[in-house]
Amino acid sequence: MAPSPAGGGIIRVMATDRLKSSVVLALALLVAVIGCGSPAGDGERAAPERRFLSIGTAPPGGAFFVVGGALGEVMTAYGGDYGWQVTAEATKGTQENIRRLAGGELDFALANSAITYFAVRGEGAWESPKAVQTVMTLAPNVALFITPRGSGVETMADLVGKRVVIGPAGAGFDYFVRPILEAHGVAYDDLEVLNDTQAGAVGLLADGSAAAAFLGGAIPTASITQAASSQDIHFVPFEADKVEQLVERYAFFDRATIKAGTYRNQDVDFAGMNVGSMHLITAAAQDEELVYQVTRTIYENREAVVEKHPAGRAINPKVVVRDTGTEFHPGAVRFYREIGIWPEAE
């Protein structure tokens, strides 16, 4: 029997509904697939979620502040795959940076390796060991005592009883000055210590308020250049055997030569000392993968750091893995091993 018109209508309606449902489902799947891709086109990834990172530096006016800013800019510019937004924070310097890293208030920081050496051991003024580790060793800090000629200071022993400028209060200069003095038979308390900035020290030497000053940094050091240009200065020599003793005892010390002609009226090479390289540090508990990627990004883009500050030249295979007495973070070690510059024997 032929189907009735009413029954045929029902079948046609049901078929049409099924077709509409199939079309709607297909469109929904297409939209979902498109939504999973990048708006920029096939093969491109969506922008990573932004991640904010901090680098502790030091007060404006010094190398730490500028170098930290350069590292932060390079990490932000070349860490696009990770969405890094890096801020270089002005701090009071190494001691504050170490405390804030250990307390989880900073992600990375610049520090003087001599101060870090004692901090991780809980020695000196550190009440307990601080759990921080090295990411990379950077520029050397070549320092020495200078004095105006005629001040009566010719040797290290002559510093006894004299007014001597030893950096800003709380900056931690005494961590490396004390061992140097002691090696030469002079106690820190034998000096009449004055605290001031390096620029301030030059003024104190010029007006006779100080007999000597301990100045240093990257070569040439601006404060020493300033002092030499306006005064007839004398570099107080370190005794060679005492330097060897210091280098043997403390990993952060190293020999350093200031070439003749670096400063006005400097006619011969001067055997100075690296009293504690600048280094980039982080908390020992910091994520290994993050430290690996930060190390890789900075190292592979070191020329971009050099464009912003000459200290970037220290980011090279010989310097970055130099042991200054503070253990390296596993994330950094992994990268250095991958590129074949990690000293495995150590």
Residue 187 lies in a domain: yes
CA-based nearest residue to 151, from 223, 198, 209, 199? 209
Query: CA 30 to CA 49: how far, in whole Å?
Result: 25
What is the per-residue pLDDT for 345? 62
Which residue is associated with the tokens 């390296």?
Answer: 328
What is the per-residue pLDDT for 218? 81
**What is the share, in percent, of the chain residues with pLDDT greater than 70?**
85
CA-based nearest residue to 294, from 331, 344, 246? 331
What is the per-residue pLDDT for 81? 85
What is the per-residue pLDDT for 63? 83
Residue ending a domain, among 274, 290, 324, is 274
What is the per-residue pLDDT for 43? 52
Q: Which helix (H) or strand (E) holds 69?
A: helix 63-78
Query: CA 146 to CA 4: how far, in whole Å?
Result: 115
Query: CA 142 to CA 276: how far, in whole Å?
Result: 8
Say which range, 57-61, 102-106, 139-143, has the weakest mean pLDDT: 57-61
Same structural domain for residues 262 and 328?
Answer: no
Residue 237 lies in a domain: yes
What backbone torsions phi and psi does residue 335 show, to the nearest 5 degrees? -65, -45
How does DSSP classify residue 313?
G
Same structural domain for residues 115 and 189?
Answer: no
Residue ending a domain, among 274, 296, 323, is 274
Angle at 139 between CA 214 and CA 135, to 5 degrees: 125
Checking if the pLDDT of 107 tops 50, the result is yes
In terms of Cβ atoms closer than 10 Å to its own Cβ (0-12, 13-18, 19+), residue 10 is: exposed
**What is the share, in percent, of the chain residues with pLDDT greater than 90?**
74
Average pLDDT over residues 298-319: 95
Checking if the pLDDT of 207 tops 50, the result is yes
pLDDT digits 0-9 by tens, 91-101? 988 999 999 99
Checking if the pLDDT of 5 tops 50, the result is no
Checking if the pLDDT of 340 tops 90, the result is yes
Average pLDDT over residues 326-344: 97
Average pLDDT over residues 254-276: 96
Residue 191 lies in a domain: yes
Query: CA 105 to CA 196: how far, in whole Å?
Result: 28
pLDDT digits 0-9 by tens, 26-56? 444 433 433 444 444 445 556 667 799 999 9
Determine if the pTM surpasses 0.75.
Answer: yes
Give the SS3 label for residue 248: helix
Say which range, 32-36, 119-123, 225-229, 242-246, has the weakest mean pLDDT: 32-36
What is the per-residue pLDDT for 3? 43
Domain span including residue 262: 142-274
Count CA atoms closer than 13 A to 328's CA, side-chain side: 22
Compute how many other C-beta atoms are within 10 angstroms of the C-beta atom of residue 221. Answer: 23
Count CA atoms closer than 13 A to 262's CA, side-chain side: 18
Residue 255 lies in a domain: yes
Q: How many domains does the chain have?
A: 2
What is the per-residue pLDDT for 23? 42
Average pLDDT over residues 171-198: 95
Residue ending a domain, among 274, 305, 322, is 274
Same structural domain for residues 164 and 230?
Answer: yes
